[in-house]
A and B are shown apart, each in its own frame.
Chain A
Amino acid sequence: MGNKKTTAFSGAVLAAVMLTLPACGGGGGGATGEVAAPPSDPKEVSGEIKVLTQRTDLVQSGALQEYAAEFNKVYPNVKVTFDGITDYEGEVKIRMNTSNYGDVLLIPGAVAKNDYPKFFAPLGTAEELSKYRFSDKAEVDGKVYGVAQFGTANGFVYNKKLWRRAGVTEWPKTPDAFLAGLKAIEEKTGATPYYTNFKDGWPLVQWTNNLGVVGCDAQAGNALAGPVSPWKAGGELNTTDGLLYDIVKQGLSEKDPTTTNWETSKALLGEGEIATMMLGSWSITQMRDAAKKAGGEASDIGFMPFPVQKDGKHCAALVSDYQQAVSIHSHNKPAARAWVDWFTEKSGFAEKEGVVSAVKSAPMPATLQDFVDNDVTFFDRSEAKTAAVNDIDEAAEIGLNKQDYRQKLIDTARGAAKGSLQDFFADLDKRWDEAAKTAGS
């Protein structure tokens, strides 16, 4: 009797498991091609929308709620709530298995481009959205699914005082001149010439954003889609990663990279303990704040382009930050779309943060004034083939947008891992090319 009970019960358990299994994966259904069109009359739109964001700091400080209040002046019947998520990538990726992932969200990097139509409502045709930068990043079959929040230019944030004391007053024009500058800083000021932020890791990913800066080539990203040996001599990644290798190899970076700390590094740059870091222009505002707190001046913090020139001019790549999309499961798509448009164009968020507005016609922000004054050529790096490049990247397990391979590069440079730079690059090339052959098919 007891035995029969047990089998009946475990049968029930098994059935429950079986039922749950397909339910786990089946979140993406109910897809329709309905366009989240911008509303024609702001007073007509109503409803409540939830906006997912990774900027928990802005949710806590109430800054985002102030934007929502401004938004309500134009769209009085829309209620906007924010959901700040610390581990944005990890958490949203999992939530996207359900139908409950907000009305407006930032597209996580893990979502394959071809899956966009299953998760997001189209915002319009490529032509309709051509006023925005980077719209090709979220374009699938002629329809655009996301609008960039903003863009950033890439370069080195540096402490102007330290570089001046080292006797370098002009931006270096070649990697060698840059290394010589760092060496002069070490000798004349005793400060750490370059800080890798190895432990936190994500600042190493910023190096990837330089793609295209050597040849001033907006297609440099797309050029990686294939067995092209990205680290071959003279290639973009060879030059940029080679510079990082040389910095570490020549002992121009911090003494113990394994215990670096991002929050402290901001203050150290302001105080003049660190001279240079590779980051996006989004960091300038933060660095200036940190410099003021550390007793320095905002004007101590400068931003310089990557030390290469094409036809006598520096180049800087503009890359897209997270792109905002409207969930396909949203019940208030017009309201959600209204928020996306308003936040991108009218909120003034980009100016306030000192980043490049996603609207093509908007002027460059004040933080990049030096670049504008010195005639740096900006280019929007095309993202048309990003999906294919990411496929290869993941198949090869290299991670252009992950820190791991650059951590290994730094370990190789400082002798903590075996091997030479040539072997290291050759191995990356080999893996890339092999993956390109299989992933492309």
Chain B
Amino acid sequence: MTQTTDTAPEGATMTGRSGTDATDEGSGGRRAAGRRHGPAAGRTRSWRDSPLRRITPWLFLAAPLALLITFTCVPVASMISYSFTDWDGVSPDRENVGFDNYVRIFTRPELFRVFFVSGYYLAASVVQIVVALYFAVILSFNLRFRNFFKGILFFPYLINGVAIGFVFLYFFQDGGTLDSVLSLLGVSTDHAWLGDPTSANVSLAGVSVWRFTGLNFVLFLGAIQSVPGELYEAAELDGAGKWKQFRHIIAPSIKPVISLSAILAISGSLSVFEIPYIMTGGATGTQTFVIQTIKLAFQFNKTGLASAAAVVLLLIILLITWIQRRLVPDDKVDLV
């Protein structure tokens, strides 16, 4: 099946191409083959060599590239350059200190202790993926009010993270929403939800699950819906139940999306920021690596050291992603 689906559109584009020769270049041999068709080739030569034509793709790219460079590349480059200085964030003078900041980070093990907090979020993201997968599978079958439920599940992801922080602050307050709901159910509790490190981290990780399940859910749902319907039909004819359909059709076909979710989950839980920063400000043992970095930069004016910490976090995430890709290579999905 892979073969047939692959060649059919290819042929189609080839025939289409001889007329619209202007758009192709630089993707190698297959396209060169297209050009052989060309009585058109002679006609468009001058256009192909005109400078305007060469510039055209860059013109299209100009806006996104400008944004990318201004708001991503330049700041990242600045950050890396700060990480080799002792800049305090304000002073017009700064001194180059070489790798001093990096040495300092790696000789202070307490800076890495905050990664234990990420464990809570990592555990939460497992829950999150399972829950999202469960709902994505259920809602991919024909179900009453299914669009309504899709909306409800995706909705939290659309809300601004700061607003979520404030909402859940009231939720966890003494006598707040959670306590009221529990007392309606006959459970009266005096527990301060954000009061001790374990409870606070679990509560915050719970908020994070609530917020991001929708994103995972949509990714999974999209992947599931791209599975051709005939497969289910065929499976049903062969007597496969819902579980078998999931096990043998859905699960393998969404494997790349699951592995993407796992990467996002790990890098996300290493760099948790908004929710704990707004709700607890990192107090009561809820400090994460990013909050710690922010505090180094903006409370203690060690912008150089904080930049180095940010670079280290970037490298850690790249490293983990690389290891993950080595362990679970991204195979081509082949259903038949």
A13 contacts B73, C-beta separation under 8 Å: yes
Shortest Cβ distance from B319 into chain A, in angstroms?
A: 25
Contact of A2 among B26, B77, B88, B280 (CB under 8 A): B26
Contacts of A2 in B (CB 8 A): 25-26
B211 at the interface (CB under 8 A from A): no
Cα separation A20 to B172 with both chains bound (whole Å): 46
Q: Which residue on A lies nearest to B92, using beta carbons?
A: A28
Assess whether B74 is in contact with A17, with CB atoms less than 8 Å apart. yes
In contact, A258 and B283 (Cβ under 8 angstroms): yes
Inter-subunit contact A416/B197 (CB<8 Å): yes
**Provided the pairs A2-B25, A115-B90, A259-B169 are in contact, do residues A21 and B81 lie with their beta carbons within 8 angstroms?**
yes
Decide if B284 touches A404 in the complex (CB within 8 Å): no
Tell me, yes or no, whether A54 is within 8 Å of chain B by CB.
no
B94 contacts A25, CB within 8 Å? Answer: yes
Q: What mask results when residues 295 to 308 of chain B are scored 1 for a CB within 8 Å of chain A, else 0?
A: 11011111000000
A199: which B residues are within 8 A, CB to CB?
169, 280-281
Q: In angstroms, how far is the closest chain B Cβ from the Cβ of A273?
A: 13
Instruction: Assess the A416–B296 pair: CB atoms within 8 A.
Output: no
Q: Which residues of B contact A402 (CB under 8 A)?
A: 299
Taking CB atoms, residues of chain B closer than 8 Å to A115 are: 90-93
Complex CA gap A432/B208 in Å reads 37
Q: Does residue B78 face the partner (Cβ distance < 8 Å to A)? A: yes
C-beta contact mask, A407-421 vs B, less than 8 Å → 1, else 0?
110010011110000
Cα distance A228–B196 in the bound complex, in angstroms: 33
Chain B residues in 8 Å Cβ range of A416: 195-197, 284-285
Chain B residues with Cβ below 8 Å from A27 are 92
Among A112, A255, A258, A414, point to the contact of B91 (Cβ < 8 A): A112
Verify if B194 is at the interface (C-beta below 8 Å from A): yes
A259–B281 CA distance with the chains assembled, in angstroms: 11
**Best-buried of A28, A259, A397 by chain B (most CB within 10 Å):** A259
Q: Determine how close the nearest CB of chain A comes to the CB of B197; give it in whole angstroms.
A: 7
B54 CB–A CB distance under 8 Å: yes
A343 to B78, CA, bound (A): 40
Best-buried of A27, A201, A404 by chain B (most CB within 10 Å): A404
Name the A residues within 8 Å of B192 (CB-CB). 255-256, 258-259
Instruction: List the B side residues contacting A417 at CB < 8 Å.
Output: 197, 284-285
A404 pairs with B295, CB closer than 8 A: yes
Which B residues touch A17, using CB under 8 A?
69, 73-74, 77
Chain A interface residue bracket vs B: 35 or more
Judge if A362 is at the interface, Cβ distance under 8 Å.
no
In angstroms, how far is the closest chain A Cβ from the Cβ of B278?
10
Which residue of B is nearest A2, CB measured?
A: B26
B173 on the A face (CB < 8 A):
yes
Please give the number of chain B residues whose Cβ is less than 8 angstroms from any Cβ of chain A in the complex. 42
Chain B contacts for A255, CB-based, 8 A: 174, 192
Q: Are A256 and B174 in contact (CB under 8 A)?
A: yes
Beyond A17-B77, A258-B192, A407-B284, is A25–B92 a contact (Cβ under 8 Å)? yes
Q: Which residues of B (185-244) have their CB < 8 Å from a CB of A?
A: 192, 194-197, 200
Answer yes or no: B145 CB below 8 A from chain A CBs: no
Q: Which of A102-122 contact B (CB under 8 A)?
A: 108, 110-112, 115, 118
Q: Which residues of B contact A187 (CB under 8 A)?
A: none
Assess whether A198 is interfacial by the CB under 8 Å rule.
yes
- B73 to A, closest residue via Cβ: A17
Set of chain B residues within 8 Å of A28, measured between Cβ atoms: 91-93
Determine if B90 and A93 form an interchain contact, defined as CB atoms under 8 angstroms apart.
Answer: yes
B58 within 8 A of A: yes
Q: How far is the CB of A259 from chain B (nearest CB, A)?
A: 4
- The smallest C-beta distance from B25 to any residue of chain A, in angstroms, reads 7
Q: Cβ of A96: which chain B residues have Cβ within 8 Å of it?
A: 90
A residues within 8 A CB of B93? Answer: 28, 115
The answer to whether B176 touches A259, judged by C-beta atoms less than 8 angstroms apart, is yes
Chain A residues near B78 (CB, 8 Å)?
20-21, 24
Q: With CB as the reference atom, state the residue of chain B lying closest to A26.
A: B92
Closest to A395 in B: B300
The residue of chain A having its C-beta at the shortest distance from the C-beta of B88 within the complex is A112
Q: How far is the CB of A290 from chain B (nearest CB, A)?
A: 20
Cα A93 to Cα B283 with chains together (Å): 24
Residues of B within 8 A of A26 (CB): 92
CB–CB B90/A259 < 8 A: no
Q: Which residue of B lies closest to A201 (CB)?
A: B281
Q: Which of B90, B195, B282 contacts A108 (CB 8 A)?
A: B90
The docked-state distance in angstroms from the alpha carbon of A118 to that of B91 is 9
Closest to A259 in B: B173
Determine how close the nearest CB of chain B comes to the CB of A265; give it in whole angstroms.
13
B89 at the interface (CB under 8 A from A): yes
Asked if A397 contacts B300 (CB within 8 A), the reply is yes
B172 touches A259 (CB 8 A): yes
Given contacts A258-B284, A399-B300, A411-B284, A110 and B90 within 8 Å (CB-CB)? yes
Q: Report the Cα distance A25→B86, complex, angstroms.
A: 13
Task: Report, nearest first, the 6 A-B pairs whose CB atoms are least far apart.
Answer: A28-B92, A258-B194, A256-B174, A256-B192, A407-B283, A259-B173
A-B contact pairs, 8 of them (CB 8 A): A16-B69, A26-B92, A27-B92, A118-B91, A402-B299, A404-B283, A416-B196, A416-B197
Residues of B within 8 A of A (CB): 25-26, 54, 58, 69, 73-74, 77-78, 81, 87-94, 169, 172-174, 176, 192, 194-197, 200, 280-285, 295-296, 298-302
Q: Which residues of A contact B (CB under 8 A)?
A: 1-2, 5, 9, 13, 16-17, 20-21, 24-29, 90, 93, 96-97, 108, 110-112, 115, 118, 198-199, 201, 255-259, 394, 397, 399, 402-404, 407-408, 411, 414-417
In addition to A256-B173, A257-B195, A416-B197, 9 A-B residue pairs with Cβ atoms within 8 Å of each other are A20-B74, A25-B94, A111-B90, A112-B91, A115-B92, A259-B169, A259-B172, A411-B284, A416-B195
